[in-house]
Amino acid sequence: MAVDMPLVIEDLGFRYAARTEWALQGLSLSLRPGEMLLVAGASGSGKSTLLRCINGLIPRSYRGDMAGSVRVNGEEVQNYPLAKLAQTVGTLLQDPEKQILGAHVKSEVAFGLENLGLPAREIKARVAGTLARLGLSELRDRDTFALSGGEKQKVALAGLLAMEPSILLLDEPVSSLDAASAREALLLFRQLADEGKTVVLVEHRVEDALAARPDRVLYLKAGQVHYLGDPNGLADVVDWRQVKLPTPAVIRRIQVQGGRDLASVPPAAPTPNAPPLVAFQNVSFHYGDGPDVLRDINLEIRAGERVALLGSNGAGKSTLVKHAIGLIKPRRGRVLIEGRDTRDLSVAQVAKTVGYCFQSPSHMLFAPTVKEELAFGPRNLGYTETEAQQFSAEAVAMLKLVGLEDYSPLSLSFGQQKRVTIACVVAMRSKILALDEPTAGQDFGTYMSFMDSLTGVGGADDMHTDIASHFDVLLFITHDLDLAISYASRVVLLADHTIAADGPPHEVLRDQALLDRCRLVRTSLLEENLRALPHTGRFMRVEALAQRVG
């Protein structure tokens, strides 16, 4: 392979210390300037390990057995001085909480430049230019702790781009972004590649990532290359149940190969005339002296509903749900939990009704083992030790955490940590299960499996229906429009810090002007559902839709 290639990998393998299996094995490829490589695969397939081998964290920070070689600009990564390597290879992490160090946006973007010892004038120019390019200039003086998850991801990207590396490693870069921001980011990545940068894009949202027009796709399976080639050939070699592909391609595959009937997703059945479990009454809120984040919110949630909360980054989605768990109190109006004002309830009292999974796992995890993490909630809600262990075991099985019970949660991958936090909330058996971006860091097959469990979709395991019976409401914040189409009975859209629409998915999501206002982008599943709506009368997930269209 040519030495002048920016990145050359030959017969790469790595096995983590204390693990028997190889995380990567026999991987060879080279990337030229201006080339974008999309890396896909299920959780644990070796994607993050590959990035760590390229940016030098392996073998410096992660110990184990390494085989083969990784060369950046002709030099072995293992021999590259780390400070020099950081100027050449820039990495954007999955979880922005682990990447942001500065107290303010401008200081965060300047952090890397200051460590390079650049002149103050150049630092100022680069910070201003990068913020402007990403549309973040108005956030320049904001406190980073007050940003939404999506805004933090954009700021972390700004700090990376300001360093002007020639190789970009992007690990799930759009997982926290609203649909419009994700599309803009993907177009930016393509533009950066066209300008000569070498881009390695790791992304579970394969259908979305294809919009960036990657030059090649690498699909990893159990640490080995399953496919490396033209993006157009990917749909023919991967399992559509494990990789999210464009809906028309999936429908063709199902109609040719057959697929199990999932048209029987249990319909939501709100209890008639039942008092609301949660009621927002004229709620407004702002942080510090800032503008309103929520304005005149009126919303009721009743038993039997599956509610998807959608809106742009910074629209107030997480702030709204934090009101429902009593973590935040309204500046005006009131929030009632089963008829009682949250001002009169402790967070622990609210947790019996509303269990909440935060967007970032780092906000929740603290116990020495996964087993202890999961048992903490049930114990504190007054369940017996036997019940706590039973609920924890069921959650472990549902979230595919079997075998990780004795691991430290903080030693797991981001995707595994996310599943641990969801399992913690499932194990609490609260009446309302509230999840903030439940699919972040999850491969398609994994998150569809646990969403099936949460909504009572029957399968090979009867536990699915049993788990769904343990809570009355599923409420999930998401940027994934297809998740709402597939599982929600009700969609609540936030825009301009208030409720823009509230109703069944097939009514709310057909309004293009409304989608634009909420920074939602039509997906191929939405397009196919709109096309079939006169015959189906409602939105369906792709497996069911394939059986209704010709």
- Which domains are assigned to the chain? 7-238 (3.40.50.300), 354-429+432-454+462-471 (3.40.50.300)
Q: Write down the pLDDT at residue 265.
A: 57
Residue 397 corresponds to which tokens in the numbers above? Answer: 């099985």
Beta bridge partners of 278: 301, 337
Residue 85 corresponds to which tokens in the numbers above? Answer: 């390597």
Provide CB contacts within 8 A for 449, sequence distance 6+: 400
Q: In what order do the strands lie in the sheet with 292-301?
A: 292-301, 278-286, 332-337, 340-341
Q: Write down the pLDDT at residue 2.
A: 44
Phi, psi of 541 (to 5 degrees): -75, 170
What is d(CA 118, CA 26) in angstroms, rounded to the nearest whole number?
Answer: 40
pLDDT tens profile 313-352: 888 999 999 999 999 999 999 999 999 999 999 988 999 8
Provide CB contacts within 8 A for 61, sequence distance 6+: 52
DSSP string, 151-195: HHHHHHHHHHHHT--SEEEEESTTTTS-HHHHHHHHHHHHHHHHT
Provide CB contacts within 8 A for 324, sequence distance 6+: 278, 280, 335, 337, 342, 350, 354, 356, 432, 434, 475
Would you tell me how many other CB atoms lie within 10 Å of the CB of residue 366? 11
Cβ-contact 302, 338 below 8 angstroms = no
What is d(CA 225, CA 27) in angstroms, rounded to the nearest whole number?
Answer: 7
> Is the whole model's pTM more than 0.85, yes or no?
no
Q: With helix as H, strand as E and coil as C, how does 392-445 read?
A: HHHHHHHCCCCCCCCCCHHHCCHHHHHHHHHHHHHHHCCCEEEEECCCCCCCHH
Q: What is the mean pLDDT of each run of 10 residues along the chain (550 residues)?
A: 78 90 95 96 89 93 94 91 86 81 90 89 94 89 83 88 93 84 88 94 90 95 94 88 88 75 57 87 92 95 94 90 94 96 92 89 90 94 93 90 91 85 92 90 85 72 54 92 94 95 95 93 94 92 83
pLDDT tens profile 158-198: 999 999 899 999 998 887 788 888 888 898 899 999 999 99
Q: Write down the pLDDT at residue 460.
A: 40
What is d(CA 153, CA 173) in angstroms, rounded to the nearest whole number?
Answer: 7
> What's at 88, amino acid-wise?
T
What is d(CA 389, CA 321) in angstroms, rounded to the nearest whole number?
Answer: 28
Beta bridge partners of 310: 493
